Amino acid sequence: MEPLMNIDRLSTVFFTEDGKVTAVDEVSFSIREGETVCIVGESGCGKSVTAMSIMGLVEEPGGKISGGSIDFRGEDLLRLDKNTLRSIRGNEIAMIFQEPMSSLNPVMRIGEQIMEPLLVHLRMNKKQARARAIELITQVGISRPEQIMGSYPHELSGGMLQRIMIAIAISCGPKLLIADEPTTALDVTIQAQILDLLRGFKENSGMSILLITHDLGVVAEMADYVIVMYSGQIVEEGGVVELFQNPKHPYTRGLLKSKPVMGQRLEELYSIPGQVPSPLALEPSCYFHDRCGHCMDVCRTRQPQLQETGSGQKVACWLYEEAEVYV
Amino acid sequence: MSEALLEVKSLKKYFPVKQGLLGRTVGHVKAVDDISITLQPGETFGLVGESGSGKSTVGRTVLRLTDKTDGEVKFKGVDIHSLSAADMRLIRPQMQLIFQDPYSALNPRVRVGDAIGEALLDHGLCTRGEVRELVLEAMVACGLSSYHIDRFPHEFSGGQRQRIGIARALILNPELIIADEPVSALDVSIQAQIINLFSKLQQSKGLAYLFISHDLSVVEHLCSRIGVMYLGSMVETASRDELFQHPLHPYTKALLSAVPVPVPRLKRERIVLKGDIPSPANPPSGCKFHTRCPFAVEVCKAEIPLFRDAGAGHFVACHLV
């Protein structure tokens, strides 16, 4: 399938009081049409900043995209002028966030917020937009759409608000939906509903999803292709089945082993020792080396490159640099 | 059977809903409605449920951080809600609380060593000369280094702060720790470290935990008995293996099936619940779950199901079981 978006060596930096932080460090990947790509990683690994960079939401002077390109259907998003970017954003690329409560305007009725992109991007008239908004609310599984149109965000629950966010996001028929931890703030039963909803839309409309999450369970359920990030870099990527069955990078293995899994109780959980290094003090090395059980001399001094392994996976680890070594 | 460490009987906690200029009470939010829990020394009881199910209020009422409406909380045979403030203070060190958010549970201007030792001095359990030694001991037991003692909370990561929170509870040598979502704010790799710390401390010190969580996989890992709450009521309690292998209540089944499992392309039967948890101020009639229950029949709308023994200590409140 054709790649819908090609991200090439994207780097995003932030300027803090203590110095420059490279939040996204030469990240490259592509998203094909109709595919769900998941970026998984722990807090601070740069997964959300990657999404923000794609949407052009990293603003100077706080931070900036310092290099690379984001090719979307033949155009580099980073080189577009503001107006063209605006016509793509919310239209062909839409985004939903973790906190639906804080993404919606608290003093605007739900109906107006759903109608807004329809009026702006699709140039519908008010009557058409209203009819379409009611249709959208029904599509995301909310009953009594007319009543909801007139409600304010505080009158709805978190799960309902996330549905409204999805309704707004899909209103213009986007080619790509970026979902940043869309279910993290929700209860499991509501999470199951929202994931079902997203999957349904993807299957019906052929839209691609870039899903950002820290939950490996959600990844297994949703992803076609998985990208594992650590300290701003991709450490491993591959098809979902291969990656879960045969994780290569010690960090991916550690992550999978440290998650308690229902029905597979262990006396003691595996845990990755130590913690994520400070982004301010990164030396050229494998950033995972001081937490890794297989650390070698080379890991402390040189950075491994992301390389393809036999099974179509890519991994950035010195263990796989020459020949495949069994860990 | 030995005497239970904690015995909660028909505990109720209602919050009044006030309205109008005069602030008249127009109704009650039944946050906790007839909950019973028995906890043996050294045991872990897991309390699970969605947000708004009342599980945190149970924890707070058990510790008498908030007054009960009705029922009984017995700690080592003593009804703690009938104690005087002075007697309550004497018993407090034996029951400690660990919070979800280690960021807001620590005073940013107090050095962690002082934060951990404060309660000891406050309760007069040691002298100023001894406190530093005891703090160091508790810190090391919780996996912190001794040089951390004079640092401030902002210098620590989330996982380390949770360790500080645990050390602060542990230093009083409690017999019961109520842990309210203690690992929910942590990343997976750190979460595993803290879960292991909880089990290690239990083994070495014989602690009993009342572990409140919404994450069933964490609860399965740590708890020997589990209670499932819905809208302030207990719908099912059973031993861990029993609950996970033979859940009886439709809500428990739905909860279990909703947890994402990290196995791709796994085909399993999922019970997807419709709608949201109803408002506890105006709970549905009969069985509170009937509005979302895929198996509800007429009787569920009219009659409140009894919480009864379905055999071998497996309690459930459902008309259909």
Q: What is the pLDDT of residues A67-92, one digit of tens each?
A: 999 999 989 999 999 899 989 998 99
Task: Check pLDDT > 70 for residue A137.
Answer: yes
Residues of A in contact with B262 (CB under 8 A): 216-217, 219-220, 244, 256, 259, 261
Model pLDDT, residue A163: 92
**Among the partner residues B51, B159, B258, nearest to A275 by beta-carbon distance:** B159
Residues of chain B contacting residue A244, judged by C-beta atoms under 8 Å apart: 262-264
* pLDDT, position A304: 93
Across the interface, whether the CB atoms of B262 and A275 are under 8 A apart is answered: no
Residue of chain B with shortest Cα separation from A219: B262
Fold classification of A3-92+172-320 is: Rossmann fold (3.40.50)
Helices vs. strands in chain B: H and E counts, helices first: 10, 12
Q: Which of A157, A189, A271 lies nearest to residue B192, judging by beta carbons?
A: A271
Average pLDDT over residues B89-100: 92
For B277-316, what is each residue's pLDDT tens digit? 888 888 899 999 999 999 999 999 999 999 999 988 899 9
Residue in B closest to A218 by C-alpha: B260
Distance of CA B315 to the CA centre of its chain: 19
Task: In whole angstroms, give the CA distance from residue B225 to residue B43.
Answer: 8
State the Cα–Cα distance between residues B140 and B137, nearest whole angstrom: 5
- Do residues A257 and A248 make contact, with C-beta atoms less than 8 angstroms apart? no
CA distance B95 to B80: 11
Separation of first and last alpha carbons in chain A: 34
8 Å CB contact between A236 and A243: yes
Element (H, E) at B161: helix B158-170
Distance from CA of A216 to the nearest CA of B (A): 5
> Residue A272: closest CA among chain B residues belongs to which residue?
B189
Q: By the CB < 8 Å criterion, does A262 face chain B? A: yes
Angle between helices B188-205 and B158-170 (to 10 degrees): 20
Of chain A, the percentage scoring pLDDT greater than 70 comes to 98
Residues of chain A found within 8 Å of residue B244, distances taken between Cβ atoms: 262-263
- Cβ pairs A/B, distance under 8 A: 123
Question: Is residue A172 a contact partner of residue A90, using CB atoms and an 8 Å limit?
Answer: yes
Note the pLDDT of residue A18: 86
Nearest to A164, CA basis, from A110, A92, A95: A110
pLDDT for B121? 93
Pairwise CB contact (< 8 Å): A268 & B221: no
Which residues of chain B make contact with A260, given a CB cutoff of 8 A? 192, 195, 217-218, 220-221
Q: How far is CA B231 from the centre of its chain?
A: 15
Q: Characterise A274 by phi-psi region: left (phi > 0), alpha (psi -120 to 50), beta (else).
A: left
Average pLDDT taken over every residue of chain B: 91
Reported confidence tier of residue A12, pLDDT bands at 50, 70, 90? very high
Q: Do B262 and A216 count as a contact with CB atoms less than 8 A apart? A: yes
The string of pLDDT tens digits covering residues A38-60 is 999 988 899 999 999 999 999 88
DSSP conformation letters of A272-286? --S-PPPTTS--SS-
Q: Which of B215, B225, B164, B224 is nearest to B192 (CA)?
A: B215
Pairing outcome for strands B70-75 and B78-79: antiparallel
CA A287/CA B303 separation, integer angstroms: 60
Of the candidates B61, B86, B50, B55, the one whose C-alpha atom is nearest the C-alpha of residue B9 is B61
CA distance A241 to A263: 20
Rounded-to-5 percentages of helix, strand, coil across chain B: 35, 25, 40
Q: Distance (Å, rounded) from C-alpha A289 to C-alpha A301?
A: 10
Asked if A218's CB is within 8 angstroms of B188's CB, the reply is: no
Nearest to B184 by CA among B99, B63, B91, B90: B99
pLDDT at A326: 46
Are B258 and A240 within 8 A, CB to CB?
no
**Token pair for residue B167?**
């050390």
Interacting residues of A163 by C-beta distance below 8 A, sequence separation 6+ = A140, A141, A142, A194, A197
Q: What residue in B sits closest to A163 (Cα-Cα)?
A: B275
> How far apart (Å, rounded) are the C-alpha atoms in residues B55 and B228?
9
Report in angstroms the alpha-carbon separations of A258 from A20, A108, A243, B214: 32, 43, 16, 18
* pLDDT over 60 (residue A327): no
How far is Cα A162 from Cα A209, in angstroms, rounded to an integer? 16
Among A269, A278, A288, A292, the strongest candidate for a mutation testing the B interface, having the largest count of B CBs within 10 A, is A269
Q: What is the pLDDT of residues A152-167, one digit of tens each?
A: 999 998 889 999 999 9
Residue pair A111/A129 in contact (Cβ under 8 Å)? The answer is: no
Ramachandran region, residue A91 (left: φ > 0; alpha: ψ -120 to 50; beta: rest): alpha
Instruction: State which H helix or E strand residue B113 sits in.
Output: helix B112-122
Return d(Cα A109, Cα A142) in angstroms, integer.
Answer: 16
Contact call for residues A320 and A303 (beta carbons, < 8 A): no
Task: Find the CB nearest B254 among A189, A244, A276.
Answer: A189
Check if the beta carbon of residue A213 is closer than 8 Å to that of residue A181: yes
Contact A188 B51 (CB under 8 A): no
Do the Cβ atoms of B266 and A159 come within 8 Å? no
Task: Taking the CA atoms of B295, B296, B297 and B300 in sequence, report the sign of the dihedral they define.
Answer: positive
Q: Where are the alpha helices (DSSP H) in chain A?
A: 47-54, 82-88, 100-103, 110-120, 126-139, 145-149, 158-170, 188-205, 216-222, 240-245, 250-258, 297-301
Note the pLDDT tens digit of each residue in B145-183.
989 999 999 988 888 999 999 999 999 999 999 999 999
Search chain A and give the residue with CA nearest B273.
A189
Q: Considering only residues 263 to 282 of chain B, which have any Cβ-Cβ distance to chain A shorter than 8 Å?
A: 263-266, 270, 272-274, 276-277
Distance CA A195, CA A218 (A): 8
Q: What is the pTM of this model?
A: 0.88
Domain ranges of chain A: 3-92+172-320
Across the interface, of B195, B220, B273, the residue whose CB is closest to A189 is B273
Q: Which residues contact A125 (CB under 8 A, 6 or more apart)?
A: none
| Strand ordering across the sheet containing B44-48 | B95-98, B176-180, B208-213, B44-48, B225-230, B233-239, B315-316, B308-309
Average pLDDT, chain A: 91
pLDDT tens digits for range A280-326: 878 899 999 999 999 999 999 999 999 998 778 999 999 987 654 44
pLDDT at B186: 86
For A262, the closest of B157, B195, B244 (CB atoms) is B244
**Residue A69: its pLDDT value, please?**
95
pLDDT at A324: 47
Residue A125 touches partner B, C-beta closer than 8 Å: no
Q: Do A240 and B264 touch (CB under 8 A)?
A: yes
